[in-house]
Structure 1
Amino acid sequence: MPGALARHKVTPAYGAAGEATLDLHNYVEGLLGCLDELQQNGHLTGITDIVLSSQWHSIVALDNNGAALTPVIPWVDTRSVAAAVGSDFDEHAFHARTGAWLHRLYWTRRIPWLRSLISPAAYAGLPDLVLERLTGVRVTSVSIASGTGTLDLASGTYDDEALAVAGVSAAALPPIVPTGWTGALSAEYARRWPGLVGVPIHPPTGDGAASNVGTGGYDESTAAVTVGTSAAVRVVHPIEDAPELPWELWRYRVDDKRAVTGMAFSAAGNLHAWLTGVLRLQDPEPFDVEIGSSRVVAIPFQAGTRPPDTVPSGSGVFFGLSFDDTAADLLAASLQGASLEVDRGLRLLDGLFGRPLEVVLGGGGIDASAWWRRCLTATFARPTTTCSEPEVGARGAAAVALGLSPAPGGETQKPVAAEAERVDLLRPRYEALRALAVQAAPQLKNPGELL
């Protein structure tokens, strides 16, 4: 459990052409301000290690001097250009090797787009630049590099074909350091935070990998379901002899020896927040609605689907509405739909690892909703254990850096038989209506434009 927390809220700036950017200076200064706050309150003494958990997929274009030419471009930004590949390009082989698709999330699409606008000399992700600000050294971890879509997962080095698609050499990207690498606080900050002088600073861990480990899903026996703004279900496993990657799943790296395989979903905590606001719900928990109720079925495609599916945002659907349905019915149906989407990923992972996986739950959405925890448990039709620590990313980054295996520490919940039975009866109807929603949605010719 953390002894102290300091927060600085950062909100992307959005634009009509799909822009979503973060101000790099304000972001980094906000982070440094959090350290100042901890220093002022006496919390930067006795620190033995500094660890970082950070978002995957961000990119910043840099000039010859390492100065930023662009704001931070995070995963939610939808701008890109079509991938320029030959007819002999095998995306299935590329996906198996890199764990990524040719999607605008990744640098294989971002870099050509940026080069069409400006003339960068180099590129880095937000965590790389934060680490550089603290240590004076621009490097990246194998975990963060895997989220760029340019990493050969097996070797832990940049992939030649991915670099060719992006149109850059490895020299334009941050060097990849091993998991055991540590940096030191630069002299610039020695007076500012004297308690951190000489404390080793570990390379960042991608937030999804860190959240998995921090929740308690750190080996191939356990799937971690995390619910924040979006949601994901993932399994951490050795990179050596990793099972063949299905086309529907992505795979990134945790550290030098482990990978994380999973599926992500665009509608989760954002769906809950949107509905409670739109419906003006005083109680954000639909306790009066039975889990697995088939009266209303919600297909939670408000933010579309993640690759490789091709459903764009604005495709959410409610089926079976009647005049006696309430706001709570709509909220319950939406949370049930999101649960069934996560269950699709869990079942794929069950099949990949050859057995029903144990399940641990974590994240702000899990912590905030007892009804949703019960719904997920009934949908998965197996016990779930909730992580007792809400800051799963920070906890996981520390565990990766220090070689720890934290237990979830929270309560284990068994599925209620009647609820699990109702969900099982609902599932065929949900799948049939989901197929209708996919058919009715405008299918993108270029899946790389998906949110």
Structure 2
Amino acid sequence: MGHSGLLGSRGTQGTGSVIAIDIGSSSVRAIGYDARARVVPGLEIHRPYALRTDAMGAMEVDADALVDLVALCLDDVSARLDRAGVTPLAVACCTFWHSLIGVDPSGRACTPVYTWADTRSASVVPHLRRLFDEEAVHQRTGARFHSSYLPAKLLWLREACPDLFVRSLYWMSLGEYLYLRLFEERRVSISMASGTGLFDQHTCEWDVPLLRTLQISPDTLSPVAEFTRTMTGLRGQFAGRWQRLSTVPWFLALGDGACNNIGSGAYDESSMALMIGTSGAIRVVREAADFTVPRGLWTYHVDQRRIVQGGALSEGGNVFAWLVHTMRTTPPADFEARLAAVPPDSHGLTLLPFFAGERSPGWRPGARAVVHGLTLATDPVEFSRAALEAVALRFGLVFELLCHVAPTAQSIIGSGAGLTESPTWMQIMADVLGRPLAPSGVPEASSRGGALLVLEALGIVSDLSHLESPIGPAFQPRAEITRIYLRAQRRQQDLETRLSGFESTP
């Protein structure tokens, strides 16, 4: 097996680069960062991929294909390290939360990677809600019962794919599986375990009462450790393939949402991060002292001493991309300008934007998008504006709940290309929230956040606040438009109430 270690503030000092692996839901990246968390020129590798989807709600990818994609990125990084004469200090890793892989006794995946967006397990959520006191489970695990999380995925898999379920000796996330392939060792960070729905956020251990009722042995889950419990000594082909990375510490994989906050500069209660990538989320990082899990929101960990609380939407940049693709009467180059020309809430439409189901705050995976008010005069740009406003209104609901958690937050930082590349959506969001929204100038916030946490653990960065995180001029809310959107939000909530009970289950 690979060697293990524990690194803290006493760790390595000096110059060099932290290599950050970032596995998102549409691409894999490997980026080198210097001691000030700045990208090392030439050490930026990006390889896209596509999830497999179907009409039944599948959203999955082959686990070993993703490992191979990471390996290709590291091939390129390793070659460029040699050419540039850069010394690698450590490897950081962040991946999307809530993934599930079944692994057989030989240590190889026998299921695909089931992602957070896979909704096929929505059908078992009502059974979980009958089986447990959901509020008590929410307070312990920080998660509601939903198709995003592992309780529903495991129960569904046992019923829908019993052969795969029986073949799986272990259950793990994508980051754990990557490290199992590289080091032949199972271990999961507190951060990654905290996003499963099977983890007690207060004790930082697997939730044994929940596992017992689900008939899942804790032995099938990886041992939990702080992310600083590093692995060293790549195994097999990988040791010779990346010789300069074989002897450095590899820090355990972290949840990408936590890293996004850290990387964009929202590393404490003074700032919230509002991120729109494929999906969307708004979050705040807090010290993990006495805390409760807020209604409608989730609670996960950055590491043992810090939690991240917030809410997530299954809709974000995916909606923008769908609009551009579907409303083809508008050339993409003109789309932004035409959106901006539509006055706020002037389209006569009320839209529930549950294109991929609902997460925060209602947690209804079977919810689907509804539009009210369409007429023969409605044009594609008006519909598109209504959809973007509708997503922003849902963010407004989550933001209101999050303000009770972090009432002293002074700023909101917008991140993710889905948001920051659309000035119109940035302005809509600022108007809905009624607060200034400043775009992050960090192009890869999650990757940078992973590198920052490693630099902090190594003792190279003593205080995250000492490093500047680039932020652009804030979009300012307009009071009269905020009032318009408040009325639109009430109208949206009224439509949602009237249609309650009309849900689809994949």
Query: TM-score higher than 0.5 here?
Result: yes
Change (3 A) 1:2 1:105: same
2:119 to 78, 82, 105: 78
The corresponding residue for 1:201 is 250
Conserved? CA contact 1:211–1:396, under 8 Å: yes
- Whichever residue aligns with residue 488 of structure 2, its letter is R
The corresponding residue for 1:105 is 148
Residue 290 of structure 2 corresponds to residue 256 of structure 1 = no
1:215-254 matches, within 5 Å, as 215-242=264-291, 244-254=292-302
Change (3 A) 1:135 1:269: same
Q: For 1:16 and 1:277, how far apart are their aligned partners in 2?
A: 18
Conserved? CA contact 1:112–1:167, under 8 Å: no
2:488 to 429, 435, 451: 429
2:108 to 67, 79, 83: 67
Change (3 A) 1:309 1:392: same
Change (3 A) 1:430 1:102: closer
- Identity score, percent: 28
Tell me the alpha carbon deviations over residues 264-301 of structure 1, each in whole angstroms, 9 at most, x when there is no partner.
11221111111111111222312222345464443322
Conserved? CA contact 2:190–2:224, under 8 Å: yes
Tell me the alpha carbon deviations over residues 326-365 of structure 1, each in whole angstroms, 9 at most, x when there is no partner.
4332222222221121111111111223346520110111
2:472 to 393, 411, 414: 411
The corresponding residue for 2:24 is none
Residue 196 of structure 2 corresponds to residue 148 of structure 1 = yes
1:144-183 matches, within 5 Å, as 144-183=192-231
Q: For 1:44 and 1:287, how far apart are their aligned partners in 2?
A: 48
The corresponding residue for 2:5 is none
Change (3 A) 1:239 1:156: same
- Whichever residue aligns with residue 313 of structure 2, its letter is F
The corresponding residue for 1:328 is 381
Conserved? CA contact 2:300–2:309, under 8 Å: yes
Q: For 1:20 and 1:300, how far apart are their aligned partners in 2?
A: 19
- Whichever residue aligns with residue 156 of structure 1, its letter is C
**How many pairs were matched up?**
443
Change (3 A) 1:311 1:319: farther
1:347-366 matches, within 5 Å, as 347-355=400-408, 357-366=410-419
Tell me the alpha carbon deviations over residues 18-61 of structure 1, each in whole angstroms, 9 at most, x when there is no partner.
33221112111011011112233446832212101101111111
Residue 335 of structure 2 corresponds to residue 284 of structure 1 = yes
Conserved? CA contact 1:38–1:44, under 8 Å: no
Conserved? CA contact 2:275–2:414, under 8 Å: yes
Residue 92 of structure 2 corresponds to residue 51 of structure 1 = yes
The corresponding residue for 1:115 is 158
Change (3 A) 1:60 1:415: same
Conserved? CA contact 1:310–1:443, under 8 Å: no
More strand by share: 2
Q: For 2:132 and 2:111, how far apart are their aligned partners in 1?
A: 30
Change (3 A) 1:10 1:162: farther
Q: Which stretch has the larger CA shift, 255-264 or 87-96?
A: 87-96
SS at match of 1:48: strand
The corresponding residue for 1:310 is 364
2:443 to 359, 376, 390: 390
Conserved? CA contact 2:438–2:471, under 8 Å: yes
Q: For 1:422 and 1:321, how far apart are their aligned partners in 2?
A: 24
RMSD between aligned residues: 2.4
Q: For 1:302 and 1:69, how far apart are their aligned partners in 2?
A: 30
SS at match of 2:228: coil
Conserved? CA contact 1:292–1:422, under 8 Å: no
Tell me the alpha carbon deviations over residues 184-207 of structure 1, each in whole angstroms, 9 at most, x when there is no partner.
141432322222132111011101
Q: For 2:85 and 2:340, how far apart are their aligned partners in 1?
A: 43
SS at match of 1:400: helix
Unaligned runs of 5+ in 2: 1-37
Conserved? CA contact 1:296–1:318, under 8 Å: yes
Q: For 1:121 and 1:78, how far apart are their aligned partners in 2?
A: 24
Q: For 1:203 and 1:367, how far apart are their aligned partners in 2?
A: 29
The corresponding residue for 2:396 is 343
Residue 70 of structure 2 corresponds to residue 31 of structure 1 = yes
Residue 83 of structure 2 corresponds to residue 40 of structure 1 = no
Conserved? CA contact 1:163–1:169, under 8 Å: yes
Unaligned runs of 5+ in 1: none
The corresponding residue for 1:94 is 137
Tell me the alpha carbon deviations over residues 242-279 of structure 1, each in whole angstroms, 9 at most, x when there is no partner.
2x222211111110111111111122111111111111
Conserved? CA contact 1:210–1:393, under 8 Å: yes
Conserved? CA contact 2:90–2:250, under 8 Å: yes
Tell me the alpha carbon deviations over residues 41-100 of structure 1, each in whole angstroms, 9 at most, x when there is no partner.
446832212101101111111222322221111112223363666978321111011101
Change (3 A) 1:77 1:86: closer
Change (3 A) 1:73 1:79: same
Q: For 1:255 and 1:409, how far apart are their aligned partners in 2?
A: 24
Residue 186 of structure 2 corresponds to residue 138 of structure 1 = yes
